[in-house]
Structure 1
Amino acid sequence: MHPRRSAQEVLLCDLCETVPLQSHCEVCDVNLCVNCVGKHLSDSSKKHNVIPYLQIKSTPNYPRCSKHADKHCELHCDKCDIPVCSTCALFGEHKGHDVSDVLEKLKIKTQNLQKDLEEIETKIYPRYEEMASDIQTEKAEIETNYGELTATAEQEGESLHQEITAIVNRRKSDIQEMKNKHLSTLNKNTDEITQKITELNQIISDLKSILKSNDVSLTSTYKSRNSEFRTLPSKVRVTIPRFSAQKINKDQLNEMFSSLSPLSINTEHGDTMKSAEAVLSPPVKPLLDDPRLTAAIDTGYNNLYSVSCLSEDQVWTLGANKTMKLLNLQSKLLTSIQTKSGNAPRDVAVTRDGDLVYTDTVDKTINLVKNKQIHTVITLQKGWIPFRQVWKPCYVCCTACNDLLVTMVSDDDKQSKVVRYSGSTETQSIQFDDEGRPLYSSVGYISENRNLDICVADNKARAVVVVNQSGKLRFRYTGHPSNTKQSFDPHGINTDSQSHILTADCPNNRIHILDQDGQFLRYIHCDLEFPWGLCVDIRDNFFVAEWFTAEVKKIQYL
């Protein structure tokens, strides 16, 4: 079994390294077997504290506060992303910041560490090994290939005897020089990959040590480097020279002698391996010159807010009441669901399994409708909580890996963020940029692009805000730069198979289509009246919820 993939390793004593461990010295941070405990305690230079190994995890090793030596950091500042003590959170530099239990953050970060380790071991490291093996194979073939070239030169030299001996020698010298350059290039490529493999081995070792350790400081300060290694090193492609046979002419022997093509060394930039959630690129579909309205659905609401595709001919709709309706293209009501709380839902989305999800801002819940039964999967804290911000869920979308992305606003409506949930567990929170500034003025509709970017319609800032899957800002789109007369007012947002970003510009009665890098491509009008919500079906038709008319319009644009 591969040593890095052994899931059931026997943990051995750190001293004798032969007998399974049973105890742990918290002072010296060493693992001990029964035989070595006495030997370890005989060292009277320290006051040892030996406990059963299984009790290690039950006693958290909180870091000490750098500002207050007598305090342990049992809280985590969400804004600064560091462990803090209660005094710093209440009265110090972190006063007013959102804080959470450090062990909760430790649990999330430990999960991320485990994911990083798994990706390195199962995906990234094997690819590096494969590349190194390919180069070794190519190097082994060099002797054969260049030997054949040399033999060809010798055969031609023998046919021309003494007249071309000098030329043959020059050709052999050229071949040897090319061979040396070829080997030198591949050796350089090998050294680069070997260096990366060495770094990966060290990262794997460090990650295992962190996961094995109980040190909160190590886990809290860990910074993932997986994205750095997903882009593989450049791979050298060398074209083996070949002879181009020429008819021998003794009068112009040198010019007519078989020429040797130059050594061609081309570097292919290393592929960037997609993470587990990434999907294959679809076939290219160009934009239609004349988008076409193909259906109009009367929803029966007074005002219409959201639409979410169950299929290409069935959509869930949401108006200004507590009832959510499933309608077909002929406006026929197929199913209706009323919220559990009796409140009007804020937004709806359809999971990859075809179930309905809706947010209840008043009740502060996120709910799943499965087989017409409502299950509350996420309940946010209610009421005033000391030193913690209280949040309300707003808009929701389902990701490629069946996570939920939820936009949230604080109870005082002053802060906004995006939260990722896997099941009912929060796995990511996106609120600030690299400079600690808020990413969002407000949070509206949300969608995940095929390249895993997270796209939010920030209506208050009159912008579409796009961050990558790690939460790092990619760009803000504030409307077509040539349009200075009409204010951009984005509401609904969605994406298609081409990684286009579509957003509804309500008062201007049009849809903006952007590419995945935020470049404006075109407007779509199609006689829209105050378009609000958006969704895209599996065939890249988009559905628009019109607020005033309460109609859903289906439009073909690709």
Structure 2
Amino acid sequence: MPDVMTQSKSHGSVASINNNKIPFGIRTWDVQITSPILYPHGCGNCIFSLTATGVDGCYHISCVAPDRVWVSDRNNLILTDTTGVHLHRVKDSYSDLYGGLHTVNSESELIYIDRNENINKLSKDMKTTTTFIERTVSTWRPQCVYWSPSNGDLLVGMYNDDTGTGKVTRYNQSGQLIQSIQHDNTGRELYITPNYITENNNGDVVVSDYRAVAVTECEGKHCFSYTGPPLGSGLEPRGISTDALSHILVCDGWTNTVQMIDRDGQFLSHIY
């Protein structure tokens, strides 16, 4: 599980921002990776942190390897190692977008949204950039991307400027559109602004949307929309991920917590 908050699905780990360690005015952020539930016997809390230099915040994380991660804020997308060394900067990434604008595939290639709202692919050696999906419909704008390790598909969260609604599109490895998820079982709009997207072990598509986490089956059937504990109490979902037990982990901007829910949408605990 390479994206957002997890370093590895098999590790069941979660990354979050430790605001207490951020010096004001300095472009360094500590990313804390912790596993309070899934951890090897005798390893304690399995806390690991790294300092990401060159970003003003940590809005999204994509892990390339155990010692390398892509980190982005609203205007920067950088590659850093676990010692904090800045290795590469993407110069044409989309600006002023706080969602999950990048992901990494099985070839360690970076897939990201560029400033022209095309979806690009950066080679493993970071020497070649190609356009994977070109934006052709002016009303729909890509908001977030996620590469599926289970089948190699690319999931893209889209926003419509005219209607103020969203959808999730699926592309195969050739960049061909093969699915669009937009409405629930009654024909109502499923999404407003899909900001982050991931996939659960059972193939469910998990979306961090405006004020809700919306989950559908891989075929597009709506499973549930989670709006916080208790239900409807308020939620500002941000980064989202899943663990080896199919738990869904979501950062909530409303309470500044990381919440864990089960695969059916039932709240389990605050883990941060």
Q: TM-score, normalised by structure 1?
A: 0.39
Counterparts in 2 of 1:376 and 1:357: CA distance versus 1, 3 Å: same
Answer 1 or 2: which has greater strand percent: 2
Which runs of structure 2 are paired with 1:181-192 in the superposition (5 Å)? none
Answer 1 or 2: which has greater helix percent: 1
Counterparts in 2 of 1:343 and 1:440: CA distance versus 1, 3 Å: closer
2:153 matched residue in structure 1: 403
Q: Work out the CA distance in 1 between the residues paired with 2:226 and 2:38.
A: 23
SS of equivalent residue, structure 1 residue 354: coil
1:317 aligns with 2:64: no
Query: Are the aligned partners of 1:345 and 1:358 in contact in 2 as well (CA < 8 Å)?
Result: no
Counterparts in 2 of 1:288 and 1:497: CA distance versus 1, 3 Å: closer
SS of equivalent residue, structure 1 residue 304: coil
2:110 matched residue in structure 1: 356
Q: Work out the CA distance in 1 between the residues paired with 2:155 and 2:256.
A: 27
Q: Cα offset for 1:382?
A: 4.7
Which runs of structure 2 are paired with 1:194-209 in the superposition (5 Å)? none
Q: 1:479 aligns with which of 228, 232, 236?
A: 228
Query: Are the aligned partners of 2:36 and 2:45 in contact in 1 as well (CA < 8 Å)?
Result: no
Q: Cα offset for 1:314?
A: 1.3
Q: Work out the CA distance in 2 between the residues paired with 1:291 and 1:510.
A: 18
Which runs of structure 2 are paired with 1:538-557 in the superposition (5 Å)? none
Which runs of structure 2 are paired with 1:338-487 in the superposition (5 Å)? 338-339=91-92, 343-344=94-95, 346=97, 347-360=101-114, 363-370=116-123, 371-372=125-126, 373-383=128-138, 390-399=139-148, 400-412=150-162, 414-423=164-173, 424-459=175-210, 462-481=211-230, 484=233, 487=234
Deviations 1:246-282, CA, capped at 9 Å, x for gaps:
xxxxxxxxxxxxxxxxxxxxxxxxxxxxxxxxxxxx7
2:263 matched residue in structure 1: 516
1:500 matched residue in structure 2: 247
Q: Cα offset for 1:299?
A: 2.7
Query: Are the aligned partners of 1:364 and 1:381 in contact in 2 as well (CA < 8 Å)?
Result: no
Q: Which has the larger radius of gyration?
A: 1
Aligned AA (1:451): N
Query: Are the aligned partners of 1:432 and 1:439 in contact in 2 as well (CA < 8 Å)?
Result: yes
C-alpha RMSD over aligned residues: 2.7
Query: Are the aligned partners of 2:121 and 2:129 in contact in 1 as well (CA < 8 Å)?
Result: yes
Q: Work out the CA distance in 2 between the residues paired with 1:447 and 1:358.
A: 15
Aligned AA (2:120): N
Deviations 1:211-245, CA, capped at 9 Å, x for gaps:
xxxxxxxxxxxxxxxxxxxxxxxxxxxxxxxxxxx
1:295 aligns with 2:49: yes
Query: Are the aligned partners of 1:364 and 1:382 in contact in 2 as well (CA < 8 Å)?
Result: no
Counterparts in 2 of 1:294 and 1:283: CA distance versus 1, 3 Å: closer
Query: Are the aligned partners of 2:52 and 2:71 in contact in 1 as well (CA < 8 Å)?
Result: no
SS of equivalent residue, structure 2 residue 145: strand
Query: Are the aligned partners of 2:94 and 2:113 in contact in 1 as well (CA < 8 Å)?
Result: no
Aligned AA (2:238): H
Deviations 1:103-141, CA, capped at 9 Å, x for gaps:
xxxxxxxxxxxxxxxxxxxxxxxxxxxxxxxxxxxxxxx
Deviations 1:354-401, CA, capped at 9 Å, x for gaps:
1101013x5231110013211001112154xxxxxx311110101121
Structure with more relative contact order (C-alpha pairs < 8 Å, separation 6 or more): 2
Unaligned runs of 5+ in 2: 1-9, 13-34
Query: Are the aligned partners of 2:142 and 2:158 in contact in 1 as well (CA < 8 Å)?
Result: yes
Q: Work out the CA distance in 1 between the residues paired with 2:172 and 2:157.
A: 15
1:337 matched residue in structure 2: 90
Query: Are the aligned partners of 1:419 and 1:429 in contact in 2 as well (CA < 8 Å)?
Result: yes
Counterparts in 2 of 1:443 and 1:483: CA distance versus 1, 3 Å: closer
Aligned AA (2:193): S
Q: Cα offset for 1:506?
A: 1.9
Aligned AA (2:240): I
Counterparts in 2 of 1:509 and 1:345: CA distance versus 1, 3 Å: closer
Which runs of structure 2 are paired with 1:22-421 in the superposition (5 Å)? 287=37, 291=45, 293-321=47-75, 323-339=76-92, 343-344=94-95, 346=97, 347-360=101-114, 363-370=116-123, 371-372=125-126, 373-383=128-138, 390-399=139-148, 400-412=150-162, 414-421=164-171
Counterparts in 2 of 1:349 and 1:413: CA distance versus 1, 3 Å: farther
Aligned AA (2:259): H
Aligned AA (1:449): N
Counterparts in 2 of 1:304 and 1:417: CA distance versus 1, 3 Å: same
Query: Are the aligned partners of 1:455 and 1:467 in contact in 2 as well (CA < 8 Å)?
Result: yes
Q: Tell me the percent identity.
A: 35
Query: Are the aligned partners of 1:405 and 1:418 in contact in 2 as well (CA < 8 Å)?
Result: yes
Q: Cα offset for 1:338?
A: 1.6
Aligned AA (1:331): G
Q: Work out the CA distance in 1 between the residues paired with 2:96 and 2:230.
A: 35
Q: Work out the CA distance in 1 between the residues paired with 2:183 and 2:258.
A: 28
Aligned length: 231
Counterparts in 2 of 1:437 and 1:480: CA distance versus 1, 3 Å: same
Structure 1 stretches of 4+ with a deviation exceeding 6 A read 282-286
Deviations 1:502-543, CA, capped at 9 Å, x for gaps:
110124221011121112221122xxxxxxxxxxxxxxxxxx
